[in-house]
Amino acid sequence: MPSALPDTAASQAAGVAAGEVAPLARFEQCVSERFGSSALPRAARCAADLAELPVILLYRVDGLSRAAAWADLQRAGQLDDGSEYARRAPLMLGFGYQGAGPQRGRESEWMRARQAEWTERCLSGRLPEPRP
């Protein structure tokens, strides 16, 4: 099943027409300020990850094993459609199960910290490239 992310170009056009700065444009501006222009080619992919990563992290929060999470993604048909998500989901799943899991009552904090770490790695080019 393809990712349910909105059409970025259409979203940006609608925002510009309404006199707003599109979210991706704001994200790219922050990326450029923090990481420099060399990170801009990764910005859209990293921004898309921010929409998908929380779903994958919830498997860990809910106490599922990595194998059970992987099986659930496969059952949902999310890994065999050839999409960018299908290529990146295994990386995100592996990342979500690295290190200590969330402490009870601090799940949101853990998820925010993991998202920040993933985004930092993504924008600085320190993530392995997914398999084609």
Residue 12 lies in a domain: no
Residue 4 is predicted with a pLDDT of: 38
Is there a domain that residue 26 lies in? no
Residue 110 in contact with residue 101, Cβ under 8 Å? yes
Question: Domain limits at 72?
Answer: 40-123
Residues 7-24 pLDDT 10s: 444 444 555 555 556 778
Q: Is residue 56 part of a domain?
A: yes
Q: Cβ distance 95 to 118 under 8 Å?
A: yes
Domain count, the chain: 1
Least confident of 3-7, 120-124, 126-130: 3-7
In a domain, 33, yes or no: no
| pTM for the structure as a whole | 0.75
- Does residue 132 sit within a domain? no
